[in-house]
Structure 1
C-alpha cells in the first residue's frame, strides 16, 4: 500500500478549499532566487529530461508521463525544481504552464508523494518564485493555479511538523516562511515556523558550523536554504532570528574552507562538487562577510598555497543511523591546481546502482592507503557503517619552505595491528607536494596482532597507496619508468615520483558524478607494497615540472591535453 501523506481531515479541508475557490493574493513576488541551467532547460524543451544523473529522452511527452528510474526521481519532479531550468531559457513559459495545469488535474485531488511536506515546501517555493511565468495572467487557468497555490500553502502550514527533523524539515520551513511573507493570510503561521527554524538549526548545525554527515555538498544545500530564508525575510522587512544569522556566519566559514581553488567543493561522504553558481549565490544572499580561511573545518584539513589547494579527510566517518552515505575515506585527499582538479576521490555512485554506490564508499575509491581487500571503515549488511576508526589524530607543521599535515588513524589496528600515518607537505609556492605513508604497530598488543595476521597470510600484508586522477588529466609513465607525467588541460605538467620498493603502475579508475549518465572512465596511479615488518613506509612527491610556470593562461578548451 502506498504511504499516506494526507489525513482524512487534510483531504476534507483541501476539498473545501477547492470548492471555495479562493485564489492566492500576493503581497509581493520576490522573483526566482535559485540558479537555473540554460542547457538543461533547452534539452528539456527538446524532450530530453536530465535529472539525478539520468537522461530520459521522451519528445512530446508530458513530464508526468516520464518513466521513473528511482523514487528520488518522483520527489524531484513534484518539487518543481526543474522550473528554474525552464525559466533560464527564456522560452519555457508554455511548457511550464501546461505541466503545472497537468499536475493540478492529475495530483491536485489525490494523496501521494506529491503531498509529502518537504516536497510541498519545495513546490510552494518554486510556484511563488515563478508566479509571473506560471500564473501572472487573467485567464481562468491562472486563477485555478492561484487557488491551488493558496491551498497548498495552507496545507503546508498545517503539516510541516510531520517532516522528520533534518534537511527535509528545512525545505518545508523554507517554503512555508516564503509563503508567510508573500501571500496574504499566511502571516499567522510565521511565528511558529521561525521558532521551529531555530530549533532545527540548533539540532542540525554543529557549533562549528558543520553537519553530522560531514557531506560538504549537503552542508551547502542547507546553507543555501537558510540564506534564502534570510533574504526572503529581509525583503519583507522581517528581522531574521539571531540564531539564523549566527548559523550562517559559522557555516559560511566552513564552506569557504572546503572549497578548492576552482570554487568547487571537496567531494567526500556522498557529496559532489556542487551545482555551478549555487554556493556563490548563497554566500551572496547570506550577507556574511568573508573571513580569513581556516585550516580545519568539519573534520577536514586544508593546505593552500599560491594556486594549489589540498583538502584531506582528517576525521572518522559518521557511524550508525546518520551514515547511509558516509565513506571509508579517512586520510584521503583531493588536490586542485588553479581551475583544474588533479587528484580526486571516485565520488558517490548512488545514481549508478547498488554496486557502484557501495564501491564508491570503499577506501580503495579514495586517494589514500588501503590494505588489500579491507577498508578503513566497514559497512554492515545494509547501508550503515558499523565499524570505523576510533582514534584519528592530526598535527599541523610549518616551516620556512612548506606547510604540512601529519595525520593518523587506527582503522586497521583491530584486524592487523597497524596504524596508518600520513605526512603531507605543500611548498609555499604551491609547486610541490611531499608525502609519506607509513603503516606501523604502536603497542605491543599491535605487534602480536600483526604477527597473527602475518601467520594467516604466510607472505606479508599487501597494501596500496592510490592517487585517483580527474578525467581531464592525461597521464603517462616517464622515461625513467619510476615516475608519471600528468598533463592538465591548462597546460601544466605535474610529475609524481616515489622512493622505496613499491611497484608503480597506472590502472583504470572511474569518476562518479551524479550529473553524468554513466561512470566516467579515468585512471589512477597505484603504489603497491607488502608489509613484512612492524613499520613499512612509502615516500612520494607530486610537483610541477620545471618548465611549467607558476601561473598559466587557463582558457577552457573542448579538447583533451596531449602528451607529445
Structure 2
C-alpha cells in the first residue's frame, strides 16, 4: 500500500510536468482572436479592502499590507481555493483605480512565478477554469502598461492552463466544478489565438453536461440555489461568448438556460436575494439580476416545484419552502436536513430565515447548520431529519444518511390567497408520525397562516407510535422553530401569547399561536459566508408534546393593523464589515 501510494504520487508529479512541457511545445497563444467583453461583477468595497491588504477568503481575514497574496500561509484549503480561483480579480477590477490595477498585476504575475508550473493547489480543473475566465475577462485591465516580456508571459501561462483544461476537465466533479472547467476551456478556445481547436470538444461536452446535470425542474442534484445561480451564470457567459464568435449555442445548452431561469426566479425572495438552503447563500449582489437579463428568458416562474422548492408571493411578501427530499449520495455533501423549512421576506427585509451554512466557521458550525433545528420547521424529540456520515475516505465529505423516503406536495390558488400543503415521513420509522405543514399566504401579503400536524395514519404507524409513547410516557416532545433575521427586533407581547417583530423598514409583524404549544423566544445565530463569526439572532419556538394520533398546532404571522399598506423603505443596508 505504501509503495503504491508513493508511485501514484510520483506519477502525478511526472504527469503534471508533462502537461507543462506539452503546453510549452504547443503553439503558444499570442493574443486574443477578439478582445473579450468583461461580464463578471465585482464588489467595489471588497476591492478597496484588498488594496488595503485585508484578505477575506472563506471566512478568514488575513492582513497582508506588506506582503503579496502568495506569501501568505493559507489557514485552510477553502482559503487556498478562493485565492487560486481568482474571483477576487472581479473586486479589484470593480475598484478600478491605479492602486487596484497595480495590486492585480502584482498578484497575477506573482502566481505565474510561484504556481505557474502545472502543479500545486491551484491546478484542479474547476479552479483552472475559474481562473482562466477571470484572466480573459480582465485582460485589458491586467495588460495595461505591461511590456512585451510580461505580456508574453501572461499569454504563455494562459496557453498552458488552457492545455491543462483540455486534458483534465473530465477530472472535475459533475455539477458546478465541471461547468467551471468547461466554460473556462470554451472561453480560452474562442478567445486565444492558437487555441481555437480546443473549443469544439468543450462545446460538445458542455451540451452533454447540460442534458445530464440540469433536471426537468431546472435544478441540480445538490439542490443548492446559490450553486444553481453560479452554473446559470457560467452558461450565460458561455452562450454570449459563442454568439459573439458566430458559433451559435447548442440546443441542449439553450434548453438548460431556459429551464434554469424560471427556477431561479422561483427561488428569489422579494428583496432579490436567493433562499438559503442546502449550503447556499443569498448570492453575490447583482449577479442574479445580471444573469437573468443576459439569458433573455422571459418566463417568470416555474410551474409547481423548482428544484424541489415552492414559492408563495403576494403584496411584496415572499415565502420559499423546501418541499422535497434532501439531496442523495455524493450530491448531499452540502445537504441540509431542511424538509418543509421555509423562509419569509417582506419587501427588502428578510423576516423568517434558516441559520445557513456554517462551512466558513469550522467543522462544528458546519455540522450544526446542517441539522433540522437550524431550520424554520418542526423537530421531533430533538432529532434531526437525517444524520451525517463519517467523513468519506477519498473526499472528506460528510453525506446525509437516513433522510425521509417520501414528500407529498400540493399548491392551490385560492380566492383569498395561495396555499402550500406538504408532508414528509422522516419521523415515521422511529415514532410512526408524519409531519404535515400547511401555509396560507393571503392575497395582500399581510399575513401567513400556518398549521403543523403530527399524524399517525396507518395501523402500522399507529402501532409504532404506541410503542414510542411507552418509551416516552409524558408524550413525544416537539419544537417548531422560526429563526429570525438578525435585523429583526423581537419582543414577547400580549402577556407571553405573541411576539412582536419590528423591521428596519418600520413594519411591525406579530406572531400568534393557538395555545396548544408553549411559546418562547430564545437566542439563535445567522451564518453568513462573508462574516468572520456568526451573527447573533433570535428564534421563536413553539414547544409541546404529542400523545394522540393527530396533533395540530396552528400559528399565524401577520402585519400589525397600524402598519401601512405600502411602506417606503428608505433604510439602507449596513456596509459590509469585517467583524
Q: TM-score, normalised by structure 1?
A: 0.95
Q: 1:17 to 1:459 in 2, by over 3 A?
A: closer
Paired residue for 1:430?
445
Paired residue for 1:77?
83
CA distance in 2, matches of 1:44, 1:463: 47
2:552 matches 1:537? yes
Which of 232, 240, 244 is matched with 2:249 structurally? 240
Which of 185, 189, 193 is matched with 1:180 structurally? 189
Deviation at 1:421, TM superposition (A): 0.9
Q: 1:84 to 1:3 in 2, by over 3 A?
A: farther
CA distance in 1, matches of 2:142, 2:176: 27
CA distance in 2, matches of 1:556, 1:139: 50
Q: 1:310 to 1:558 in 2, by over 3 A?
A: closer
Which of 493, 496, 518 is matched with 1:481 structurally? 496
Paired residue for 1:453?
468
2:408 matches 1:402? no
Show structure 1 runs of 5+ residues with no match: none
Paired residue for 2:394?
none
Which of 510, 526, 532 is matched with 2:541 structurally? 526
CA distance in 1, matches of 2:443, 2:81: 47
SS in 2 for 1:414: helix
Deviation at 1:372, TM superposition (A): 2.6
Deviation at 1:99, TM superposition (A): 1.3
CA distance in 1, matches of 2:329, 2:457: 28
Paired residue for 2:237?
228
Q: 1:510 to 1:442 in 2, by over 3 A?
A: same
The CA RMSD over aligned residues, in Å, is: 2.0
CA distance in 1, matches of 2:222, 2:110: 38
Q: Deviations over 1:247-301 (max 9, x none)?
A: 1000001110111111111111111111111111111222222435534211111
CA distance in 2, matches of 1:518, 1:255: 28
Paired residue for 2:339?
330
Paired residue for 1:421?
436
Paired residue for 1:93?
101
2:71 matches 1:65? yes
Paired residue for 2:3?
none
Paired residue for 1:363?
372
Equivalent pair of 1:4/1:111 in contact (CA under 8 Å): no
CA distance in 1, matches of 2:26, 2:452: 70
Tell me which moved more, 7-16 or 491-500: 7-16
2:321 matches 1:312? yes
CA distance in 2, matches of 1:384, 1:396: 30
CA distance in 1, matches of 2:321, 2:81: 33
Paired residue for 1:197?
206
Equivalent pair of 1:21/1:147 in contact (CA under 8 Å): no
Q: Deviations over 1:477-512 (max 9, x none)?
A: 113320010011110000000012311100000001
Deviation at 1:519, TM superposition (A): 0.8
Which of 144, 150, 157 is matched with 2:166 structurally? 157
Q: 1:171 to 1:243 in 2, by over 3 A?
A: same
CA distance in 1, matches of 2:239, 2:388: 39
SS in 1 for 2:165: helix
Deviation at 1:22, TM superposition (A): 4.5
2:288 matches 1:279? yes
Equivalent pair of 1:492/1:548 in contact (CA under 8 Å): yes
CA distance in 2, matches of 1:23, 1:222: 27
Q: TM-score, normalised by structure 2?
A: 0.93
SS in 2 for 1:63: coil
Equivalent pair of 1:24/1:149 in contact (CA under 8 Å): no
Paired residue for 1:120?
128
After the TM superposition, which parts of structure 1 deviate over 4 Å for at least 4 consecutive aligned residues? 1-7, 16-23
Show structure 2 runs of 5+ residues with no match: 1-5, 392-397
Tell me which moved more, 225-234 or 153-162: 153-162
CA distance in 2, matches of 1:187, 1:143: 18
CA distance in 2, matches of 1:458, 1:13: 67
Tell me which moved more, 200-209 or 336-345: 200-209
CA distance in 1, matches of 2:476, 2:141: 64
Paired residue for 1:411?
426
Paired residue for 1:257?
266
2:33 matches 1:27? yes
Equivalent pair of 2:60/2:79 in contact (CA under 8 Å): no
SS in 2 for 1:114: coil
Equivalent pair of 2:456/2:550 in contact (CA under 8 Å): yes
Paired residue for 1:343?
352
Equivalent pair of 2:29/2:192 in contact (CA under 8 Å): no
2:56 matches 1:50? yes
CA distance in 2, matches of 1:57, 1:513: 20
SS in 2 for 1:59: coil
Deviation at 1:16, TM superposition (A): 6.4
Deviation at 1:10, TM superposition (A): 5.1
CA distance in 1, matches of 2:29, 2:260: 38
